Structure 1
Amino acid sequence: MTTVPASVPHTGDHLPAPPPMQPRRAAVAAAAGTAVEYYEFGVYGYLAVIIGPLFFPNDNPTASLLATLAVFGSAFVMRPLGGIVLGRLGDRVGRKPVLIATIVGMGTATAAVGLLPTAGSIGIAAPIALLLVRLAQGFFAGGEVTGSATYLSESAPAGRRGFFGAFTPVGVALGGGTAAVVAGITTTALTDDQLRDFGWRIPFLLALPLIAITLIARSKLEDSHAFVAETQQHAPAKSPLMEVLTEHTAAVFKVIFLSIGSNAGYWVGLIFMNIYLTTYLGYPKSNTFWIMGAISFFVAILMPFFGGLSDRVGRKKVITIGFLGYAILVLPAMIVMDQGSFALAVGAMVVLALPMPIVQSVTYPTYAEQFPTRVRYTGLSIAFNIGTIIGGGLTPYLATYLISRTDNLLAPGFLLMAAVVLALITLRTVRESAKETLQ
């Protein structure tokens, strides 16, 4: 860890405590923005089966689904570029202005999806337009969740970074849960023909009021406590990217491999399971959406508890339990889901979701603690977004592809197991940071 001379105030826990309301406001504003991001990704994933034939007409439903998931994954490809550009701005001009920019850009792109004409209207231009909008969404998303994690880690009072840092994944869960509920309402209230004609657009357009609420919350924030202190002591990094790549290479790889596991847990363990339950096992779409929404909200409630627990017993112990839970539970849960009983499938889905609040709540503050304040936004954005491409962008596509090639419905489970084993191996090399000051 970087050594700071005694005469220089250390950014983080050695500084005077932030104003009492700042951590709470930061938690609300950060969770709201992250919720918008994962609302859009969740809606796209939940409605992929409906959107696919509209933008990628094909006699083979699996081919349409794969094409739709490929476009889904394309947004992840843009995330590292967005992370580099927006992370650099965040490290040089401040966290707050960049977090406002990300929510405007990301939310606008989300709403734009709901306005796109389909292939039946403009032919090949439709999937191209969908791809371009998704790329724009991915660019801004590249600076959203990492900016949120950075801001919260730097605004939290001493000894409570785990608790407040958990509100970034709270936003993830709330966004995904809201997406599932909206998808459930839409598919319940409308007929199949109405869904294909106009209904699929409604969930995307509902991003607009979410943007407005988040902008109000973020406009009232001050910049993060640690960032302000850092800029008072030192000039901003001239080239945050080069500094990260040359001085913090090990931290970059550790966060990449950890985020592969945590992202696979979310995107395979929750989002892909919607496709698994509805497309492959034949359970009703609307009922499945309701269950996914309920599970997401349940997970969100648990996250601050596990984040606070990691402040007391350590990050690594809590994360290890969560990853082991995924590895042990995923295959038995998928087998139970395939018994033809929706009630059993719901029970199995609840059990499979139990590791999620443990892993998600504690990994986000852990990521942020691997980098010093002067390049934290850039370092976290590069590493996390690369891990997200592999663990999040590719996994729904790979899971669908593996099933189509092997006829083995358990293939996604093995994919998740491989990702969490990689993360567990990496975790052994990560220092315990719960009791440390920010670098």
Structure 2
Amino acid sequence: MTSLPTTVEDPGGTGNEPASSAAAPTTPLTGPAHSRPRRAAMAAAAGTAIEYYEFGVYSYLAVIIGPHFFPGDDPTAALLATLAVFGSAFLMRPLGGIVLGRLGDRVGRKPVLILTVVGMGSATAAVGLLPTAETIGVAAPVALLLVRLAQGFFAGGEVTGSATYLAEAAPHGKRGFFGSFTPVGVALGGGTAALVAGVTTTVLDERQLDAYGWRIPFLLSLPLIALALIARNRLEDSETFLAKKSEKATAKAPLTEVLTEHRAAVLKVTLLAIGSNCGYWVGLIFMNIYLTTDLGYSKSSTFWIMGGISLFVACLMPVCGGLSDRWGRKRLITVGFAGYAVLVVPAMLVMGLGSFPLAVAAMVVLALPMPIVQSVTYPTYAEMFPTRVRYTGLSFSFNIGTIIGGGLSPYLATWLIATTGDLLAPGYLLMAASVMALLTLRTVRESSRTELL
């Protein structure tokens, strides 16, 4: 196996500077140069896993925790209220992206990535400590909402900071491969959430689960924080960012610059992010609700299947990311979104036949576009913005897309089924998002072989 290059080309220059202007970082870097991208990939995946572990646990346990915070005789109303609070966290993501993105573009990537993982993990653990409506009445859903808003704020700078850092830390010609470790964290976090939910619902009976068991998966975020902190504390800031900082070329008002000089990139990333998030939240996370609540399959069995599929998807992501370095980003992303559009309705029809093995097979088929879309879009997003505003631009636009494609889609899918009575309505939602992403992709330039600005 050949080693990675021990020198990294400076992709941050404009092409007019002297060759030596960004050759040396302003602070000494430790450790073998060839190991830095690998450490960066592992640290990025660890932090992103915490974010999606939290969002996954909440989604998987929504049916169980709903009555604790929204008691009533109508389980559908409780589920919708729980999903509405779930979506509220996404509303805070753009604000978190603006604040944390500015810090990342002005101060550095590493300190913000440490802050986000601590903030998200602490808020997740807090959910497991909240008193319920039976104890404090209406204050319980208010407390849940406040914790979710805090989670959303910190999440607004997590996955985008990870994508930013990996794009800048990757060796030339390998941004797709190393950039895929951001969505690897997404898949591992969601898969771990499903497996933890599966273990919890299998080991505990209904009474235990209702009394205290639902809290356990949230509290397990505490050891995950420690692991992520150990990994991220070993990182150095990217040489690309340090070069810009040494040249005093960082943006003084990153958001203003993004909205005045990079509006086209903001729009493209937003629309693509709607499609990719809808693929994740409808194509995987919502299908847990669909299989258990709408089709009546076993909760614990469904959790195990979702966890296994997520881990399977995570293994494929570096392969897809590496292929995008060789074959191009646009070609693979097109295949992924087209796969969603073609597969989702037939897969849901098979799930509704009443056979759990067939439902599992359909879920595996529906998940096949996910490693392509998730692994290749993240480096593509990062490549659309220059280094001086990359963190802010990516955070702002991606999080707007995440509100629509991620925060609203589980609620909207549940509401569509309840309103229309058509169990295939979520599939039409994913098809529409995929077609929109495909049309947007036609306006995106191929960036797999270009230098970062």
Report the TM range for the smaller structure's normalisation: over 0.9
2:192 to 178, 182, 193: 178
Name structure 1 gaps, 5 residues minimum.
Answer: none
Q: Any conservation in 1 of the 2:254–2:392 contact (CA below 8 Å)?
A: yes
Q: Any conservation in 1 of the 2:173–2:325 contact (CA below 8 Å)?
A: yes
Paired position in structure 1 for 2:8: none
Alpha-carbon distance, 1:58 to partner: 1.5
Matched, 1:325 2:339: yes
Matched, 1:125 2:139: yes
Q: Any conservation in 1 of the 2:156–2:395 contact (CA below 8 Å)?
A: yes
Relative to 1, partners in 2 of residues 1:164 and 1:15: Cα closer, same or farther, differing over 3 Å? farther
Equivalents in 2 of 1:342, 1:5: separation in Å?
Answer: 58
Equivalents in 1 of 2:15, 2:400: separation in Å?
Answer: 34
Instruction: With the length of structure 2 as denominator, give the TM-score of the two structures.
Output: 0.95
SS at structure 2 position matched to 1:235:
coil
Q: Any conservation in 1 of the 2:333–2:377 contact (CA below 8 Å)?
A: yes
Matched, 1:414 2:428: yes
2:211 to 191, 197, 201: 197
Equivalents in 1 of 2:334, 2:228: separation in Å?
Answer: 33
Q: Any conservation in 2 of the 1:255–1:367 contact (CA below 8 Å)?
A: yes
Number of residue pairs matched? Answer: 438
Paired position in structure 1 for 2:448: 434
SS at structure 2 position matched to 1:429:
coil
1:379 to 393, 409, 432: 393
2:37 to 5, 23, 41: 23
Paired position in structure 2 for 1:154: 168
Equivalents in 1 of 2:162, 2:13: separation in Å?
Answer: 26
Q: Output one character per residue of 1:246-293: Cα deviation in whole Å (capped at 9) or x when no partner.
A: 000000000000000000000000000000000000000000000000
Matched, 1:165 2:179: yes
Paired position in structure 2 for 1:287: 301
Paired position in structure 2 for 1:74: 88
Alpha-carbon distance, 1:96 to partner: 0.1
Paired position in structure 2 for 1:261: 275
Relative to 1, partners in 2 of residues 1:30 and 1:426: Cα closer, same or farther, differing over 3 Å? same
Equivalents in 2 of 1:160, 1:10: separation in Å?
Answer: 23
User: % of aligned pairs identical?
Assistant: 75
Corresponding letter in the other structure for 1:298: F
SS at structure 2 position matched to 1:59:
coil
Q: Output one character per residue of 1:142-186: Cα deviation in whole Å (capped at 9) or x when no partner.
A: 000000000000000000000000000000000000000000000
SS at structure 2 position matched to 1:20:
helix
Paired position in structure 1 for 2:406: 392
Q: Any conservation in 2 of the 1:74–1:393 contact (CA below 8 Å)?
A: yes
Q: Any conservation in 2 of the 1:9–1:15 contact (CA below 8 Å)?
A: no
Paired position in structure 2 for 1:112: 126
Equivalents in 2 of 1:339, 1:158: separation in Å?
Answer: 49
2:14 to 4, 12, 29: 4
Corresponding letter in the other structure for 2:255: L
Alpha-carbon distance, 1:375 to partner: 0.3
Moved over 4 A (4+): 8-12, 14-18
Q: Any conservation in 2 of the 1:4–1:10 contact (CA below 8 Å)?
A: no
Alpha-carbon distance, 1:6 to partner: 3.2
Alpha-carbon distance, 1:315 to partner: 0.1
Equivalents in 2 of 1:138, 1:303: separation in Å?
Answer: 25
Matched, 1:93 2:107: yes
Matched, 1:334 2:357: no
Equivalents in 1 of 2:248, 2:323: separation in Å?
Answer: 34
Instruction: With the length of structure 1 as denominator, give the TM-score of the two structures.
Output: 0.98
SS at structure 2 position matched to 1:238:
coil
SS at structure 2 position matched to 1:380:
helix
Paired position in structure 2 for 1:208: 222
Relative to 1, partners in 2 of residues 1:188 and 1:73: Cα closer, same or farther, differing over 3 Å? same
Q: Output one character per residue of 1:187-243: Cα deviation in whole Å (capped at 9) or x when no partner.
A: 000111111110000000000000000001100100012111111223321100000
SS at structure 1 position matched to 2:71:
coil
SS at structure 1 position matched to 2:354:
coil
Equivalents in 2 of 1:11, 1:372: separation in Å?
Answer: 17
Corresponding letter in the other structure for 2:100: L
Relative to 1, partners in 2 of residues 1:384 and 1:269: Cα closer, same or farther, differing over 3 Å? same
1:367 to 361, 381, 393: 381
1:405 to 419, 423, 433: 419
Matched, 1:275 2:289: yes
Alpha-carbon distance, 1:9 to partner: 5.0
Equivalents in 1 of 2:258, 2:63: separation in Å?
Answer: 40
Paired position in structure 2 for 1:345: 359
Counterparts of 1:36-55 in structure 2 under 5 Å? Answer: 36-55=50-69
Q: Output one character per residue of 1:65-124: Cα deviation in whole Å (capped at 9) or x when no partner.
A: 000000000000000000000000000000000000000100000000000000000000
